[in-house]
Amino acid sequence: MRDVVVAGIGMHRCGKFPALSLKDLGGHAVWEAIRDAGVDPRAIECAYVGNAAAGLLTGQEMVRGQVVLRWAGLGGIPIINVETACASSTLALREAWIAVGSGMYDIALALGMEKMFIGDTAKSIGIVATATDVEWITALGFQFMGMYAGNLKLQMERNGWTQELFAKVAVKGKRNGSLNPFAQYQTPQTVEEILSSRVVAWPLTLYMCSTMGDGAAAAIICSREKAQALGIQRPVHIRAQVTRASGFSDPRVHGQVHQEEETPTGPSGRNEIAYEAYEAAGIGPEDLDLAEIHDATAPAELGTYSGLGLCNPGDEAAFFLSGATQLEGTIPINTSGGLAARGHPIGATGLYQIAELVLQLRGDAAKRQIPGRRGTGPKVALASNGGGVVEGGAAASCATILTV
């Protein structure tokens, strides 16, 4: 594999935009990325477009990427549609990375986009449950928030975690989101406000949960040699990208569904996907300066700390309360605000993570810019993203390592 870099990123703000179409959202992100990279759009040789729900919500099936990019003025290149629930745009980036890394192309576009506000909130919420084996929905009454709440209750019993602790994690996310101009919600909230919001599935309250949103994010990637030839001044290197499905077992054998962690873990409880990415990048968790993690609920962040190797199992609460994951801490988590503050346009979420990390690594994150472990700016970042559930395990778990 050749060395591959992110040459530019672009985002549309997450939010509720009833007057904007998927073409408006995606086209905006694409042209922001083109301008950020400073490349001639005619130099883009292929595009991978991630989207999860347009078929169900807007009726646009089969050629979503072609429709959106044609409207944006791009054509005459291979355009490949990618769909894997919340991991759709991470996988779009992965495919672009492979295409450039293999030497087939020198410049590629990765785009993630979602239009969830269509005037029928119940329909939009309902489609989220289709990111699993749809036979479960009827047979088992499957609900994502119910599954997340059940996992958190187990953690409360095992580790003594409290609902107030969960609210404090959400407060951190809301604070970070208030500093992010691309975030859907830009108002800080207190522990009391979060605890007093409507209960979704105890112990989860509304303000702890990821939000429905419209949005799009894009990245222009190229080979290191092409970046040098184009005069890209601040390339961010994609050092590793690992994607796996959970280790499923055959339901016909055991006749029931087992709920597992959102990300496949080994016997030690560590996140095997992340550790595979660490090894591929030649780093360890101690080298990370920051991470964006897929927090479908804000408290889910707690469960990732030990799995990623940031602290020992059982020390997650103390690690968080130490301030380590705050903007000023040793390893800030979700500087963007995470899914409950930045927003969760499903098919775009993975590239929103990447865009946030690129801004941080380039020193362009403005009020939420972190100093890095050494005070000279962050150098190494991790994006941990997941999508869908099949037989209780993640349909796709992804880890991406970026460096400068």
| Res. 137 pLDDT band, cuts 50 70 90 | low
Residue 127 has pLDDT above 60, yes or no: yes
Kindly state whether residues 30 and 75 are assigned to the same domain.
yes
Residue 256 has pLDDT above 50, yes or no: no
**Share of residues in the chain with pLDDT > 70 (%):** 92
- pLDDT score at 258: 41
Section 388-394 average pLDDT: 83
Do residues 389 and 87 touch, judged by C-beta distance below 8 A? no
| Res. 373 pLDDT band, cuts 50 70 90 | confident
Kindly state whether residues 304 and 248 are assigned to the same domain.
yes
Tell me the DSSP string of 120-153: -HHHHHHHHTTSS-HHHHHHH---HHHHHHHHHH
DSSP state of 31: H
| Res. 254 pLDDT band, cuts 50 70 90 | very low
This prediction has a pTM of 0.94
Kindly state whether residues 199 and 55 are assigned to the same domain.
no
Exposed, middle or buried by CB within 10 Å (0-12, 13-18, 19+), for 369?
Answer: middle
Q: What is the distance of C-alpha 48 from the center of its chain?
A: 17
Residue 171 has pLDDT above 70, yes or no: yes
Kindly state whether residues 135 and 87 are assigned to the same domain.
no
Section 232-239 average pLDDT: 95
Section 344-352 average pLDDT: 97
Which pLDDT tens digit goes with each residue over 315-339? 999 999 999 999 999 999 999 999 9
Which pLDDT tens digit goes with each residue over 61-93? 999 999 999 999 999 999 999 999 999 999 999
Kindly state whether residues 180 and 281 are assigned to the same domain.
yes
Section 289-308 average pLDDT: 94
Active centre residues (catalytic):
86, 344
Which pLDDT tens digit goes with each residue over 270-279? 899 999 999 9
Kindly state whether residues 156 and 245 are assigned to the same domain.
yes
Section 93-109 average pLDDT: 98
Residue 214 has pLDDT above 90, yes or no: yes
Q: What does DSSP say about strands 204-205 and 199-201: parallel, antiparallel, or unpaired?
A: antiparallel
- pLDDT score at 246: 79
Let me know how long the chain is: 404
Kindly state whether residues 104 and 158 are assigned to the same domain.
no
* Token pair for 154: 């187990």
Kindly state whether residues 282 and 368 are assigned to the same domain.
yes
Kindly state whether residues 223 and 206 are assigned to the same domain.
no
Higher pLDDT, 83 or 257: 83
Q: Where do the H-state alpha helices sit in 179-315?
A: 191-196, 224-230, 251-254, 272-281, 304-307
Residue 257 has pLDDT above 50, yes or no: no
Q: What is the mean pLDDT of the chain?
A: 92
What is the domain range of residue 318? 130-210+239-403
- CATH no. for residue 164? 3.40.47.10
| Res. 141 pLDDT band, cuts 50 70 90 | low
d(CA 210, CA 341): 7
- pLDDT score at 119: 92
User: Which of residues 195, 230, 265 is at a domain's end?
Assistant: 230
Kindly state whether residues 144 and 47 are assigned to the same domain.
no
* Token pair for 129: 């449950």
Question: For residue 26, what are the contacts with CB-CB under 8 A and spacing of at least 6?
Answer: 49, 68, 69, 72, 111, 113, 216, 218
Do residues 395 and 245 touch, judged by C-beta distance below 8 A? yes
Count of domains observed in the chain: 2
Residue 200 has pLDDT above 50, yes or no: yes
Kindly state whether residues 140 and 88 are assigned to the same domain.
no
* Token pair for 337: 């605000």
Kindly state whether residues 257 and 343 are assigned to the same domain.
yes
Ramachandran angles phi, psi of 51, nearest 5°: -155, 145
Section 361-377 average pLDDT: 94
Ramachandran angles phi, psi of 267, nearest 5°: -60, -30
Which pLDDT tens digit goes with each residue over 11-68? 999 999 999 999 999 999 999 999 999 999 999 999 999 999 999 999 999 999 999 9
